[in-house]
Chain A
Amino acid sequence: MNENVTLTRKFEFSASHRYWNEQWSREENDRTFGHNTSPYGHGHNYDLYVTVGGPISEKTGMIINLSELKKIVNEILLEFDHKYLNLDTPYFKDKIPTTENLALVLFGLIDKKLAGYKSLILKRIRLFVKQDTYADVWRDE
């Protein structure tokens, strides 16, 4: 059997955020982050694609039951959905909630949860912040 099959599921969540570096002046923040600096934050509908790999079960013909993957990831996303990322989550106290940083946080959380499933591996996530912008995080193999 080919062990290189992957499975991807799409998830959606909505959140607000603000880009602001406390060490910088307002001018420098505005110059670097443009319209992302509004003190009230602004929001996006994020699309998250989660790709997992691993052996295909003889019994089910699946790498992981999709409904199980859905449950695991949705539980993680509860912490982010309809929240203000800077203040409502603990991950961005000393990090700016850019697409890159949010993708790294989500990869870490999903990977930790999936560690309990032997032989299953989180291969890659793709996080769309808008239709024309996305970040990928994957294992450097």
Chain B
Amino acid sequence: MMALKISLTRIYIFSAAHRLNSEILDEQKNLEVYDKCNNPLGHGHNYKLEITISGIPDRETGMILSQGQLNQKVKNVLDELNYKHLDNEIPFFKHRISSGENIVQYLWDQLDESIGRGMLYHLKLWETNNNSFELDRGR
């Protein structure tokens, strides 16, 4: 039997507002770096998140994790962000820039704990249709 790996990916959507602004840069520099993303009153995105889990499909269900269970574990995490202003309402981003790079790291920690058993394998966060951020377990 050759060694195969298998993963399952589901795509989820959440919507949130944010503003890119660094506490260690002055007003002029922030505008230069973040341009329109620096708008003082914020702006929003429909974030698309591809969540990949890997493991051996369960003999009884044929699935790595049942879809209902996965949905519930993901919902617990994404409900925290959905229809929120990330910088103002999520403590993690109070003093941390809510860039795609930082959001995907936040999501990794939250989802890895929620899904458990080291199943989380890869995340791909689409901020818009044109830019995405990825993180994997690196094994």
Q: Does B117 contact A (CB under 8 A)?
A: no
Residues from 1 to 27 in B contacting A, C-beta threshold 8 Å: 2-12
5 residue pairs, one from A and one from B, having the closest CB atoms: A96-B62, A98-B62, A140-B3, A132-B11, A100-B57
- Which residues from A are CB-within-8-Å of B67? 34, 133
Count A interface residues, CB 8 Å.
29
Closest CB in chain B relative to A6 CB, distance in Å:
16
CA distance A32 to B10 in the complex (A): 17
**Interface magnitude class on chain B:** 20 to 34
- Which residues from B are CB-within-8-Å of A23? 60
Q: Are A139 and B4 in contact (CB under 8 A)?
A: yes
CA distance A138 to B5 in the complex (A): 5
| Chain A positions 127 through 141: 1 when the CB is less than 8 Å from some CB of chain B, otherwise 0 | 000011111111110
Chain-B contact segment, one of A38-46, A66-74, A101-109: A101-109
Given the known A-B contacts A137-B4, A139-B3, A139-B5, are A21 and B10 also in contact in the complex, defined by CB atoms under 8 Å?
no
Residues from 79 to 129 in B contacting A, C-beta threshold 8 Å: none
| Chain A positions 90 through 125: 1 when the CB is less than 8 Å from some CB of chain B, otherwise 0 | 000001111111011001000100000000000000
Q: Are A133 and B9 in contact (CB under 8 A)?
A: yes
Given the known A-B contacts A107-B4, A133-B9, A135-B6, are A101 and B57 also in contact in the complex, defined by CB atoms under 8 Å?
yes
CA distance A107 to B4 in the complex (A): 9
- Which residues from B are CB-within-8-Å of A99? 8
Closest to A94 in B: B59
Q: Does B78 contact A (CB under 8 A)?
A: no
Given the known A-B contacts A34-B67, A95-B62, A96-B62, are A104 and B10 also in contact in the complex, defined by CB atoms under 8 Å?
no
Q: Are A104 and B4 in contact (CB under 8 A)?
A: yes
Closest to B67 in A: A34
Given the known A-B contacts A137-B5, A140-B4, A140-B5, are A100 and B64 also in contact in the complex, defined by CB atoms under 8 Å?
yes
CA distance A104 to B62 in the complex (A): 11
Q: Does B61 contact A (CB under 8 A)?
A: yes
**Can you name 13 extra interface pairs (CB under 8 A) apart from A111-B2, A135-B8?**
A31-B68, A32-B68, A34-B67, A100-B63, A104-B6, A133-B9, A133-B11, A135-B7, A135-B9, A136-B6, A136-B9, A138-B5, A140-B3
Q: Does B66 contact A (CB under 8 A)?
A: yes
- Which residues from A are CB-within-8-Å of B62? 19, 95-98, 100-101
